[in-house]
Amino acid sequence: MTYILGISAYYHDSAAAILHDGEIIAAAQEERFSRKKHDSRFPGHAIAYCLEEARVPLAEVSSIVFYDKPLVKFERLLETYLSYAPKGLGSFIAAMPVWMKEKLYLKTTLKKELSKLGGCSIQRLPQLLFSEHHQSHAASAFFPGPFKKAAVLCLDGVGEWATTSAWLGEGQQLTPLWEIDFPHSLGMLYSAFTYYTGFKVNSGEYKLMGLAPYGEPRYVDRILDNLLDLKEDGTFRLNMDYFNYCTGLTMTNKKFAKLFGGPVRKSETKISQREMDLAASIQVVTEEVVQRLAKTLHKETGADYLCLAGGVALNCVANGKLLRNGPFEDIWIQPAAGDAGGALGAALIAWHDYHKGARRMNGAELDSMHGSYLGPCFDDAEIQRQLDALGALYVRLDDEALMPRLAEILDGENVVGWFEGRMEFGPRALGGRSIIGDPRSEKMQSVMNLKIKYRESFRPFAPSVLAERVSDFFELDRPSPYMLIVAPVKENLRIPMTDDQQQLFGIEKLNVKRSELPAITHVDYSARVQTVHEQTNPRYYRLMKAFDERTGCGVLVNTSFNVRGEPVVCNPEDAYRCFMRTEMDYLVVENFLLAKGDQPKWEQDDSWKSEFELD
């Protein structure tokens, strides 16, 4: 029996994943256990969970694999500073202490941490291997996917050197084709606009994507004429005169600000039409780059299918357009497409390349991610113990009574915290740790944004839809189980805008009812769709069937079970605390139903809100 532990850490979103004879057993991000969002520290809690789920002590693991090569990354760092010297001195001085203390000697650091966690000497640790960053991304995209042969495209900020890489996956082989290297990066370009419009880099990119439909793409030509030299085949170079990330501690500089008519928007200040137009413009440019790269890769490989990973692969608007426009018959995106998924990719590389293991495939239409439900779950006894310790009041109902009761609750425009089964791996809530509501409700979006999530009012919510009914509601004819495809709402469900409404600009568009499902319909009549499948999440599917039978609507609003600035909840205690700190109406933890009105008085502590004001 071969157990392989994959680790990503020290840069973004630390995580761990474990395989048993090539099968994915468990995977989780460290932030879910530490409660520190985007935690980049050694993923001790995540590793401990993976080992517990696999029922194997660390000393009996066959291989431990780290998701990138720190020495190569350090080489890139040094070469970058030298090529820009003396400009980069301040950034160099800021970066070096961490590198000299931890990252340069990462192998030693990892062995010390693993030895402490495993309760064994360094000498008794399993062998420690290192994969390349984009190789980890590519492996996470291809090997768990449903295709025997596929082109693979990885797009992110930067790994060691690569920022964009192309691969061909066939059977158990993953062959590198070409790459674009730092500092020329589509991920960095998108993050530069994230920074410039006042959002936080590495966590605010999805806000920029959500803001884009409120604006007009009036800056596209300015971007292509000044910032980006984009070739017909999709390859590109950035004009580094406008960027500061190689030499400074910011993403953009004064020349960038002059080009777009003003300084960086300060976080938490009013979002103007300029920010909306910038968001729309960089989104259009990103989609064009992805489309051209995909077209080139299709021509070069002759593959019918495409797999995607890297942070840019979380741009579900670009994914949806790529799916609709072709040239590939179908695409598959790793649900943990960012650095967290690198832990899984690293483990899969070791299984296929080092241990020469066979590839596990679940059939032509199914991937081997188990729906991405790869985190911890809790039995009734543990749930009851945690709820009792908090003084929570609840009733326990079997599914036969619970599901119709919840359908009734949701039909009454109540907001429900839904905690069920194994926690999701990746950034999306997929019906394991979700906040759910009625998509037909006109007030649901504002209630969830302002009273539940404590976040910007413009942010759209995603729909969960019964897989067999997806085409009844959306212009989509295939599964989208990981909420990584944006699709238009069906024409017959849309509400045409009046002449006066069509004259509205920006956030003024927010309160215009766009469809019969207003809570999940964005201002451009689109939605980020998650199809729900009985095979991977039978209880969430059962709830949706009950709601469909009661209302004729096979759709629910689905957003992640957390508030702004906090990670998604992991255990029942996390869920109850989040429930009590917000204006959610009901909480479901497996078969335990809790009504807000029944709960004892909660000592409200709002200090956490101010702590995350700048998130």
Q: Dump pLDDT digits (tens) for 130-165.
A: 999 999 999 999 999 999 999 999 999 988 889 999
φ and ψ at 323, to 5 degrees? -65, -45
The answer to whether residue 171 sits within a structural domain is no
Q: What is the pLDDT of residue 80?
A: 65
Structure tokens that stand for 46 in this block: 């995540």
Least confident of 99-108, 234-243, 354-363, 422-431: 99-108
- Asked if the model's pLDDT at residue 609 lies above 60, the reply is no
Whether residues 483 and 387 share a domain: the answer is yes
Q: What is the pLDDT of residue 610?
A: 40
Q: Dump pLDDT digits (tens) for 36-78.
A: 999 999 999 999 999 999 999 999 999 999 999 876 766 666 6
Whether residues 354 and 414 share a domain: the answer is no
The answer to whether residue 173 sits within a structural domain is no
What is d(CA 358, CA 435) in angstroms, rounded to the nearest whole number? Answer: 39
Smallest Cα–Cα separation from 506: which of 330, 276, 196, 210? Answer: 276
> Would you say the C-alpha torsion 64, 70, 71, 72 has a positive or negative sign?
positive
The answer to whether residue 568 sits within a structural domain is yes
φ and ψ at 81, to 5 degrees? -60, -40
φ and ψ at 258, to 5 degrees? -65, -40
Q: What is the pLDDT of residue 497?
A: 80
Instruction: For residue 326, give every residue at least 6 positions away whose Cβ sits within 8 Å of its Cβ, in sequence order, or none.
Output: none
Residues 551-565, mean pLDDT to the nearest whole number: 95
Q: What is the pLDDT of residue 615?
A: 34
Q: What is the pLDDT of residue 505?
A: 66
- Asked if the model's pLDDT at residue 340 lies above 90, the reply is yes
pLDDT band at 398 (very low <50, low <70, confident <90, very high): very high
Residues 395-405, mean pLDDT to the nearest whole number: 98
- Asked if the model's pLDDT at residue 389 lies above 50, the reply is yes
Whether residues 45 and 79 share a domain: the answer is yes
Provide the domain count of the chain.
3
Task: Name the amino acid, one letter, at 178.
Answer: W
Whether residues 302 and 357 share a domain: the answer is no
Q: In CATH, what number is assigned to the domain containing residue 566?
A: 3.90.870.20
The length of the chain is 615
The answer to whether residue 103 sits within a structural domain is yes
Assign residue 413 a region (left: φ > 0; alpha: ψ between -120 and 50; beta: otherwise): left
Least confident of 59-63, 95-99, 147-151, 366-370: 95-99
What is d(CA 190, CA 196) in angstroms, rounded to the nearest whole number? Answer: 10
* DSSP-based three-state secondary structure for 410: helix
Whether residues 580 and 479 share a domain: the answer is yes
- Asked if the model's pLDDT at residue 101 lies above 70, the reply is no
Structure tokens that stand for 14 in this block: 């630390």
Query: Across the chain, what does the average pLDDT equal?
Result: 91
More confident residue, 509 or 126: 126
Smallest Cα–Cα separation from 307: which of 271, 339, 333? Answer: 333
Whether residues 246 and 118 share a domain: the answer is no
Q: Dump pLDDT digits (tens) for 585-597.
A: 999 999 999 999 9
- Asked if the model's pLDDT at residue 612 lies above 50, the reply is no
Which H or E element spans position 169?
Answer: strand 162-170
Q: What is the pLDDT of residue 608?
A: 42
Smallest Cα–Cα separation from 5: which of 425, 344, 367, 361? Answer: 344
- Asked if the model's pLDDT at residue 96 lies above 80, the reply is no
What is d(CA 595, CA 405) in angstroms, rounded to the nearest whole number? Answer: 12
In Å, how far are 112, 212, 443, 529 from 496, measured between CA atoms?
62, 20, 19, 22
pLDDT band at 86 (very low <50, low <70, confident <90, very high): low
Residues 306-330, mean pLDDT to the nearest whole number: 96
More confident residue, 497 or 560: 560
- Asked if the model's pLDDT at residue 91 lies above 70, the reply is no
Q: In CATH, what number is assigned to the domain containing residue 106?
A: 3.30.420.40
Q: Dump pLDDT digits (tens) for 268-307.
A: 889 999 999 999 999 999 999 999 999 999 999 999 999 9
What is d(CA 369, CA 350) in angstroms, rounded to the nearest whole number? Answer: 17
Domain endpoint, select from 368, 389, 413: 368
Smallest Cα–Cα separation from 112: which of 120, 611, 347? Answer: 120
The answer to whether residue 585 sits within a structural domain is yes
Whether residues 492 and 599 share a domain: the answer is yes
Q: What is the pLDDT of residue 349?
A: 97
Whether residues 446 and 555 share a domain: the answer is yes
What is d(CA 581, CA 168) in angstroms, rounded to the nearest whole number? Answer: 48
Q: CA 314, 316, 319 angle in degrees (round to 5)?
A: 105
Beta-sheet strand order (sheet of 416-419): 395-396, 592-595, 586-589, 416-419, 433-437, 555-560, 462-466, 526-532, 485-488
Q: What is the pLDDT of residue 611?
A: 39
Instruction: For residue 583, give every residue at least 6 positions away whose Cβ sits within 8 Å of its Cβ, in sequence order, or none.
Output: 415, 447, 451, 452, 596
b/e map of 83-112 (b: 16 or more CB within 10 Å)? Answer: ebeeebeebbeebeeebeeebbebeebbbe
Q: Which domain holds residue 15?
A: 3-133+336-368
Whether residues 469 and 600 share a domain: the answer is yes
Whether residues 289 and 358 share a domain: the answer is no
The answer to whether residue 270 sits within a structural domain is yes
The answer to whether residue 107 sits within a structural domain is yes
The answer to whether residue 228 sits within a structural domain is yes
Whether residues 108 and 198 share a domain: the answer is no
Whether residues 482 and 508 share a domain: the answer is yes
Under a CB-based contact definition with an 8 Å cutoff, are residues 146 and 332 in contact?
Answer: yes
Question: Which DSSP string corresponds to 351-400?
Answer: IIIIS-PPPP---SS--SSGGGB-S----HHHHHHHHHHTT---EE--HH
Q: What is the pLDDT of residue 284?
A: 98
Domain endpoint, select from 316, 348, 368: 368
What is d(CA 283, CA 280) in angstroms, rounded to the nearest whole number? Answer: 5
What pTM was estimated for this model as a whole?
0.92
More confident residue, 244 or 572: 572
In 51-133, where do the E strands start and end?
63-66, 127-130
